[in-house]
Structure 1
């Protein structure tokens, strides 16, 4: 019997997230929790919560799920799991357990669900974690992800907002997965572009995080649904600015062509609307602007670290086999939060 294809939602992967404007307004209404053991909460838009259990032990908690952005259910399961696990690695933590989060139509072939869960379980196993259960509901559309618990030493957390002036900014994966997946849904993405996007999205940030632990890290986040520029602005807060070299940005090579054909996402436009007033583009193409605003699914780590550490870490990261680079530098506060030079 021919396998029933996944029915796509209006937006797949991290492009399905609520926009940063809407989310920030909602979160601002929630009272802040006063607990000295809550080391990282939601106030600074960090990647995961960190709660201290003992002087040498804290837990890292996160969850993430979304609709499919690729046709293959097994690959979708891998991507969704890698994306959820990434938040633990962005904090510098170690994955311990994971729980499946499943939304699935009762009328769809259960073999599709089996392939999604198989892909996810294999990534949890690769992470060194244990898949301990989960929760499922009947829904009109497919959605999948994980709730993940990790551990970390309370004094070794990679927070997202502790950049220092003079730091270099290192990006560990290429940008452009949202643009490529959009082109692919319209039947216009090349096999090579989609292959690189899938390779990037299924790659665990575990290996990049392990490299970073060897060096001094001042700030770290993973680049996901809010795109490179929104995540960077969150890292810089109102204390610093950054100068980005557009020519150094790693991205999937076909992206400028797809941007010219306007294979763009609503999520990318929400990201632009949220931070455009904070960005100065100097001799920068429209295509590069869109790549920098593009919502990423299971994107790479963006790390702020001393220049000498950044150069050494980059040489190790290159061995992981994905495009990566030092893309800019943290500066003293300027009128604009980020200056992008073409």
Structure 2
């Protein structure tokens, strides 16, 4: 769904949430958090989508990892999940079984349990999860806690939207496709644990709105400006060649349209650099905001867990400037 359309729809929700709602729709965060007691919050999220790859098992893994990521982006631990399925009557239900088995792998890897689910008949395949988790209220990672003067790290390479679009058009070789599927199926659990260990308090995950779109939500919720180094953005193998050939995800244009005048683009940037920064990711990495003095601890914690990471930007005071910049 286009970001601007989502904002219009959310405007109909109550403006004064109950005290028990710690994190709700107003900040467009990755998941909701409801206070259970004075120390613990219940993290809740839901995410599902049509197939992004042809392999049914990998599709299940990717969709499940994508849904679980919202809990990790809040600093939580996944506890349980419910499957959400839309299935065409004409298709073999055994294919659905393979999709579900892929999702089950990731649920178990997360240390959660599958508690049930719901299915409907539809003309298009859709699969995902509703996930519940727990988070200490004093250790929530949120998109409204970033401050000026921080460094910004990303934990997965960009370009999944371009690659999956290219896969559908049979323009991606097997090695590139395999590497992309494995990245998308990787849980953000270790990255979240590293962030918490290093004292990070602001984070989001990078999915359908792309790096720039999700960073914009952080900038607006935190009242800051985020500046990205275009030359330092990591591109997955094969992504830039596809973008250069004009293979881009549909979400790229929607994100740029949504940002409009809120986005500052430096002179000399190529259209490919802008496209990569706004590429609609699937099950992307965490975007972590850390004080400069804490960056070494974050890098050490990520490296100890084998989590890829790149320093991609910095935060600044807004001072009347545009909230997002790509330079």
* Shorter-normalised TM range: over 0.9
1:1-16 counterparts in 2 under 5 A?
Answer: none
Q: Aligned partners of 2:282 and 2:52: how far apart in 1?
A: 9
C-alpha distance in 1 between matches for 2:179 and 2:300: 20
Contact 1:170–1:310, Cα closer than 8 Å, also in 2? no
Q: What's 1:336 paired with?
A: 322
Instruction: Give the SS at the match of 2:17.
Output: coil
Q: Which residue of structure 1 lines up, in the alignment, with residue 30 of structure 2?
A: 47
Structure 1: gaps (5+ residues): 1-17
* Distance in 2 separating the partners of 1:320 and 1:297: 22
Aligned to 2:231: 247
For 1:126, the equivalent position in structure 2 comes to: 109
TM-score between both structures, scaled by the size of structure 1? 0.91
How many angstroms apart in 1 are the aligned matches of 2:307 and 2:197? 20
Q: Secondary structure at the match of 1:213?
A: helix
Deviation of 1:322 (Å): 6.0
Which of the residues 146, 159, 169 maps onto 1:176? Answer: 159
Give the equivalent residue in structure 2 for 1:310: 295
Contact 2:224–2:323, Cα closer than 8 Å, also in 1 = yes
Distance in 2 separating the partners of 1:152 and 1:319: 23
- Report deviation, 1:321: 5.2
Deviates more, 1:164-173 or 1:24-33: 24-33
> Is the deviation greater in 126-135 or in 327-336?
327-336
Q: What do the CA deviations read for 1:54-76 (whole angstroms, capped 9, x no partner)?
A: 11111000000000010010000
Distance in 1 (alpha carbons) for counterparts of 2:179 and 2:76: 27
Give runs of ≥4 in structure 1 deviating > 4 Å. 318-323
Q: CA RMSD in A?
A: 1.4
Task: Give the 3 Å change call, closer, same or farther, for CA 33–113 of structure 1 in structure 2.
Answer: farther
TM-score when normalising by structure 2? 0.95
Residue 212, structure 1, aligned to residue 195, structure 2:
yes
Cα displacement (A) at 1:319: 5.5
Would the aligned equivalents of 1:104 and 1:141 in 2 still touch at CA under 8 Å? yes
| Mapping of residues 149-160 of structure 1, within 5 Å | 149-160=132-143
Q: Which of 251, 261, 271 is residue 245 of structure 2 equivalent to?
A: 261
